[in-house]
Structure 1
Amino acid sequence: VFNQSFVMSILVAFALGVFGFLLRNLYCEALSADAATATLAKSYLLWFIPALALQFPLVALGSALRATGIIKPTVGLQVLSVVLNIILAPLLIFGIGPWPRLGVTGAALATFISILIADVLMVIYFEKKYHYLRFRFPLFRPRLKIWTKMLHIGVPAGAEFVLLFVYIVIVYGIIRGFGPAAQAGFGVGARVMQALFLPVVALSFAVAPVVGQNFGGRRADRVRHSVYAGIGIAAVMMLVLTFIVWLAPAALIGFFSNDPRVIAFGGDYLRIVSFNFVAAGIVFTTSSVFQGIGNTWPPLISSMARLLLFALPAVLISRTPGFEIKHVWYLSVASQLLQMCINLLLLRRELRKKLNFEGLENLVPGGATAT
């Protein structure tokens, strides 16, 4: 399964890269506020698309480690890639020291280099430090039965990212009329959120294998304890981040831009969406719980519900007189709260159904002899 998942990640990454480059020009020209922004977006995607493709093998290898209960290397390399990105981005954007001044292209190139280094280090870890799962080239030949089983679990989780992409496209399309500063403010704000969410993402990485191992061991009490602990820790972590962001949103945007309009738009975005941080943390954690018990469809259902609640009203209100961009952010908060509620309700139902192990304790595995 390990080797098959790695091969699948490479093939999917290649397909995504080809698809991304084919649609790059159309995407940038359709959503950018002006021609200059479209040109910059094309330059950015030139390196960001390969960087995105490199995420697939990194995630596949990290998931394999988490499945065996090893969390630190995965989280450590993710954090390392973010730190490297933060260090390299200003060097390549502004041409500090011996580094070339590449502007927007430099930001994407910094992301590409950071993820590439994380990929290389992950492969080295498997080859040098970890011997339970190893790369075996004879096992790289595709096996459709294994692929089918992996896709049954993986497709819903992957579809959530597709829905996230649709959400971003809708937002960029709606705020296009407010000019490039609004789009830049949203883009910077989204990247700041991505960095702030690293702790809860790391927590969700840990929740899935812990829940999965206890679920496989038919320890319903430990599964419930893991769920409650994960949700509680996520809520507290995100509540702290909510206060930090709400108090100084403009300062966080100011680290990445000195344009007053970008700071204003980005600051408003962060201040408003910070109200859904706790809900987002709970969504991350509960989605990981679903992965741990082997059912990834409920999070997809909640993501679809969120997108439906957000997309249609957002498009409609964007065409009304007096529309302001902050209306989109408030609607985003409401849709995130809805997703949290749906996730919690579906998780409650799933746990009631899946944690009923009565009568299973005395089952004897095939080939074993009862004593």
Structure 2
Amino acid sequence: MKDLTQGSIAGHLISLAVPTAAGMLFQTLYYFVDLYFVAALGDAAVAGVSAAGNVMFIVMALTQVLGVGTMALISHAVGRKDQQDANLIFNQSLLIAALGGLLVLLAGYLITDVYLSSVAADEETIAHGRDYLYWFLPGMALQFALVAMSSALRGTGIVKPTMVVQALTVLLNTALAPILIAGWGTGYAMGVAGAGLASSIAIAIGVVVLTIYFARLEKYVSFHPEQWQPRVAVWKRMLTIGLPAGGEFALMFFYTAITYWAIRDFGAAAQAGFGIGSRIMQGIFLPAMAIAFVVAPVAGQNFGAKQMARVRETFRVAATQCVGVMLVVMVLCQWQPEVLVAFFTEEPEVIRVGALFLHLISWNFVMSGLIFTCSGLFQALGNTVPALVSSVTRLVVYALPLVWLTSRPGYQLEQVWYLSIAASAVQAVISVTLLRKQMRLQLGSPATQPA
């Protein structure tokens, strides 16, 4: 356990954000590795894997419910020095993880064809998406166990073990991807199905390694089988915080799905370009996301310890850091986005679409940094409903005009990205406004002006 209620706020944020960013980078490399080898199979394969991979947002939404509830309550318990409650929360999260994994497996295999048929550009894209998703679903189910354990560690101020496990799983995935996708050394190429299987195997090994770490090395929170009986009161505490946070990620699924639907008439190349551009954007967001990610345990421990001035200082420092990082990556995407996209494909139309997406959507980046930071503070305060409200507003501001736009003759692809920029601006304003109100209510005195 690391006490975050003492010492430099900026120092805590950086010391936690660096290994967190490394771990998130390794996690993102899953998709980059798969994308690199899948790109050689053609536009339909890339579009299929990208569309199928969007289901990960639903899984992330469910794991976010678990992870945010676990992290927030454990960080509060650590702040008030209540180890018994921290252990109870952790062990109940393991039970929820097992149930969540089973739910994902059953639902995933039932809805795959319905989902892909609604968003994919053609039958070939649907077939590739199905092959990928069927083999990746076991890995998605195992994400619940990883999230439960890593969130418990994050709540106690420990992030390095999770980073090491994520690095290990990416190395395994990198080694397995060419073997299973392209048939290197075996002569049996599974295609996109191999990409899903490689990820599932790597995640399974990651779960085993992190379980061994908890069994042998972790002392503050640990496995207690006698606490594996369902505790409705504990579940209610976790879900109160976690459900709205999970709703945010569910909305990201719908946001991305409606984008695929809106651009499908432009063909598989357009969907592939958007898919590659989105993955690149996720990758370059990592430093800012890492800062926002560790805001929650830092501010959460201080909130549990009733050190309200340190909670406000956490927001101010984190917002400044996030905005600075986002300005840098915005310049990168304004400069030569074609170079970033060309690393994954040689198709001129795919490169054009992906580069246009990055060039325009990068105007969102600073606003996204503020949104990420606000989300972390809402988690720390134990009230994630305002973050969900801002996300719902963004989806409405984006989706309704987009549906109207697609009914107009001659609409252009870039108009979709302009709508996205406007929606993010609205969300940023709402997030900051709601956070200022929440800080006044829960911290007992006026909040400082956001950075």
Identity %: 44
Which amino acid letter does the alignment assign opposite residue 128 of structure 2? L
TM-score using structure 2 length? 0.75
Q: CA deviation at 1:86?
A: 5.4
Partners of 2:415 and 2:235 in 1: how far apart?
43
Evaluate the alpha carbon distance shift between residue 66 and residue 24 of structure 1 in structure 2; reply closer, same or farther with a 3 A threshold: same
Equivalent residue, structure 2, for 1:253: 341
Question: Is 1:239 the equivalent of 2:337?
Answer: no
d(CA) in 1 for partners of 2:173, 2:310: 38
Q: Quick one: which of 245, 249, 261 aligns to 1:161?
A: 249
Aligned to 2:378: 290
State the Cα distance separating 1:320 from its structure 2 match.
Answer: 1.0
Report what 2:355 is aligned to: 267
CA distance in 2, matches of 1:271, 1:207: 29
Q: Which residue of 2 aligns with 1:131?
A: 219
1:108-257 equivalent positions in 2, closer than 5 A: 108-257=196-345
Secondary structure class of the residue paired with 1:322: coil
- Note if 1:58 corresponds to 2:146: yes
- Structure 1 position 356, deviation (Å): 0.9
1:228 and 1:357 map into 2 onto residues whose CA distance is 15
Please tell me whether the aligned partners of residues 75 and 202 of structure 1 are also in contact (alpha carbons under 8 angstroms): no
Name the aligned partner's letter for residue 228 of structure 1. Answer: R
| Distance (whole Å) between structure 1 residues aligned to residue 226 and residue 332 of structure 2 | 51
CA shift in 2, pair 1:173/1:207, >3 Å = same
Pair 1:35 & 2:131 matched: no
Between 123-132 and 148-157, the greater mean CA deviation after superposition: 123-132
Does the alignment pair 1:20 with 2:117?
no
400, 407, 410: which one aligns with 1:312: 400
Greater RCO structure (CA 8 Å; 6+ sep): 2
Take 2:256 and 2:107, find their aligned partners in 1: how far apart are those partners? 18
CA contact (8 A) 1:218 1:357 kept: no
- Per mean C-alpha deviation after superposition, the further-off stretch among 164-173 and 215-224 is 215-224
- What is the rounded CA distance, in whole Å, between the counterparts of 1:269 and 1:86 in structure 2? 27
Segments of 5+ residues of structure 1 without an aligned counterpart are 359-371
Residues in 2 aligned to 1:337 and 1:100: alpha-carbon distance in whole angstroms: 49
Deviation at 1:205, TM superposition (A): 2.6
1:7-36 CA distance string (max 9 Å, x none) = 102211211221111000111122111111
**Following TM superposition, by how much is the alpha carbon of 1:170 offset from its aligned partner in structure 2, in angstroms?**
0.6
Deviating more after overlay: 310-319 vs 55-64? 55-64
Distance of 1:99 and 1:131 partners within structure 2: 47
* Distance in 1 separating the partners of 2:214 and 2:308: 32
1:277 and 2:277 matched: no
How well do the aligned residues superpose, as a CA RMSD in angstroms? 2.0
The CA deviation at 1:212 is 0.8
Aligned-partner Cα distance in 1 for 2:184–2:364: 37
8 A contact 1:159–1:300 mirrored in 2? yes
Structure 2 segments unaligned to the other structure (5+ residues): 1-88, 447-451
Alignment of 1:48-127 (within 5 A): 48-78=136-166, 81-82=169-170, 85=173, 88-90=176-178, 92-98=180-186, 100-127=188-215
Displacement of 1:84 after TM fit?
5.2
Q: Deviations over 1:224-272 (max 9, x none)?
A: 1110111111111121111122222222222222222222211211221
1:347 aligns with 2:435: yes
How far apart are 1:94 and its partner, in Å? 3.2
User: Any idea what the Cα deviations from partners look like across 1:196-218, whole Å, max 9, x if unmatched?
Assistant: 22222322231101101111222
Cα shift at 1:314: 0.8
1:49 is paired with a residue of what secondary structure?
A: helix
The size of the alignment, in residue pairs, is 358
